[in-house]
């Protein structure tokens, strides 16, 4: 980079202030402080964090392998070893290969709170009511519902985050291009928005998921590729408002490239409504995934999700726990994300900031 180019970019950066008159850093510095003043949004955020921790540590909360095992005068850490085995850094010793750790004679073991995997089948205990052995009951194959709920949170949240990540990348890029360049570019991209909005998304998802092999990655891509329009429209609207502000026109006049103007100077100040849309999009993606799993399509049959547990309830109406617990999990999760999104909207939107 030449000294002239460097000087130009430094001078352009001097103009890169937030639309409200302060710097971009100042815009975000008080977000958490203002967000905490809304108790509903704050506690909803704690619920979201709790769900994230459950998903992250699912293997340590529900597993048929123990944390600690003392067997034949040797000490093992089976859950930790299972990770090493998966990535090829270790192997199971012969005495622990394909064994039921609960039935090892002479062994001392410490198991997780839920000593089952969601795939553990017990045909002697189908549709068991909630009990000290199975806290949330079992399904038709004797699989522990609580284990399914815990590991299902990982699937649902993973699909929600990845799908919305894909949608955000597409939406922010398309919205930025339309809002920044305007003219015929905006016209073409806006027509694409209208075409996407005219397509019945959920029926498209059902059709594609039914025609292609079940795959969690395919489900993520389908949801992400069909849910970016809302994010794109928010991004476009913000770019249309900001592109004519003094600091942007100054940067353009100083010769800063379009890409840097778009993504370095405009985008940071256009993210407020986009972030809200992304948070609400995660809730929508989780709801869509649960609906697809309830219909028996989307993710592979061997993966237990909240929607697949609900699907079991449709053929066993007497097993109320198969409907109540996953239904409550979906409701609480979607509501928590919605309330977090609304809390962020109040904090980030200057028109609503003074109403609370």
Distance, CA of 298 to chain centre? 16
Which DSSP helix (H) or strand (E) runs through 166?
A: helix 145-181
Closest to 252 in 3D by CA, of 323, 322, 180: 180
> Where in 31-123 does DSSP place strands (E)?
68-71, 74-76, 108-110
* Rounded CA separation 54/62 (Å): 10
* Rounded CA separation 34/169 (Å): 28
Query: In the predicted model, what is the mean pLDDT of residues 113-125?
Result: 93
Please say if the pLDDT value at position 117 is more than 80. yes
Strand partners, 62: 114
Please say if the pLDDT value at position 8 is more than 60. no
**Counts for the chain of helices (H) and strands (E), in that order:** 17, 3
Contact (Cβ atoms closer than 8 angstroms) between residue 297 and residue 205 = no
Query: In the predicted model, what is the mean pLDDT of residues 209-216?
Result: 81
What's the pLDDT score for residue 144? 96
Please say if the pLDDT value at position 328 is more than 60. yes
For 78-116, the pLDDT digits (tens) are 999 999 999 989 999 988 888 889 888 888 999 999 999
Query: In the predicted model, what is the mean pLDDT of residues 61-86?
Result: 93
Closest to 337 in 3D by CA, of 92, 157, 112: 157
CATH code, residues 3-58+147-353: 1.10.3720.10
For 33-53, the pLDDT digits (tens) are 888 888 999 999 999 999 999
pLDDT band at 26 (very low <50, low <70, confident <90, very high): low
Distance, CA of 331 to chain centre? 15
Pairing verdict, β 68-71 and 108-110: antiparallel
pLDDT band at 177 (very low <50, low <70, confident <90, very high): very high
* Rounded CA separation 278/234 (Å): 10
Please state the domain extents for the chain: 3-58+147-353, 65-111
For 133-169, the pLDDT digits (tens) are 999 999 999 999 999 999 999 998 999 999 999 999 9
pLDDT band at 213 (very low <50, low <70, confident <90, very high): confident
Share of the chain above pLDDT 70, in %: 90
Query: In the predicted model, what is the mean pLDDT of residues 117-140?
Result: 93
pLDDT band at 13 (very low <50, low <70, confident <90, very high): very low
């Amino acid at each position: 980079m030449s000294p002239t180019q460097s000087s130009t970019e430094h001078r352009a950066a001097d103009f890169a202030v937030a639309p409200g008159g302060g710097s971009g850093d100042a815009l975000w510095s008080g977000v958490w402080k203002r967000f905490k003043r809304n108790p509903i949004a704050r506690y909803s955020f704690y619920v979201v964090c709790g769900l994230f921790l459950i998903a992250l540590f699912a293997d340590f909360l529900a597993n048929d392998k123990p944390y600690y095992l003392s067997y034949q005068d040797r000490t093992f850490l089976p859950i930790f070893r299972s990770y090493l085995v998966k990535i090829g850094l270790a192997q199971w010793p012969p005495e622990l290969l394909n064994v039921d750790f609960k039935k090892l004679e002479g062994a001392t073991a410490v198991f997780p709170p839920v000593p089952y995997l969601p795939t553990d089948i017990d045909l002697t205990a189908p549709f068991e009511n909630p009990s000290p052995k199975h806290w949330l009951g079992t399904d038709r194959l004797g699989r522990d519902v609580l284990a399914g709920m815990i590991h299902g949170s990982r699937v649902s949240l993973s699909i929600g985050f990845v799908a919305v990540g894909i949608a955000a990348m597409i939406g922010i890029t398309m919205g930025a291009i339309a809002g920044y360049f305007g003219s015929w570019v905006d016209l073409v991209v806006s027509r694409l928005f209208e075409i996407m909005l005219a397509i019945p998304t959920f029926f498209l998802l059902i059709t594609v998921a039914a025609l292609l092999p079940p795959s969690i990655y395919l489900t993520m891509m389908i949801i992400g590729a069909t849910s970016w329009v809302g994010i794109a429209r928010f991004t476009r609207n913000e770019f249309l408002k900001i592109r004519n502000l003094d600091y942007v026109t100054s940067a353009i006049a100083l010769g800063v490239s379009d890409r840097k103007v778009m993504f370095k100077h405009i985008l940071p100040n256009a993210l407020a409504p986009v972030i809200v849309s992304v948070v609400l999009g995660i809730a929508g993606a989780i709801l869509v995934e649960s609906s697809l799993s309830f219909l028996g399509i989307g993710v592979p049959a061997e993966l237990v999700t909240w929607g697949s547990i609900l699907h079991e309830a449709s053929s066993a109406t007497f097993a109320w726990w198969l409907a109540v617990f996953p239904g409550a999990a979906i409701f609480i999760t979607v509501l928590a994300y919605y309330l977090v999104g609304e809390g962020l909207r109040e904090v980030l939107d200057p028109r609503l900031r003074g109403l609370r």
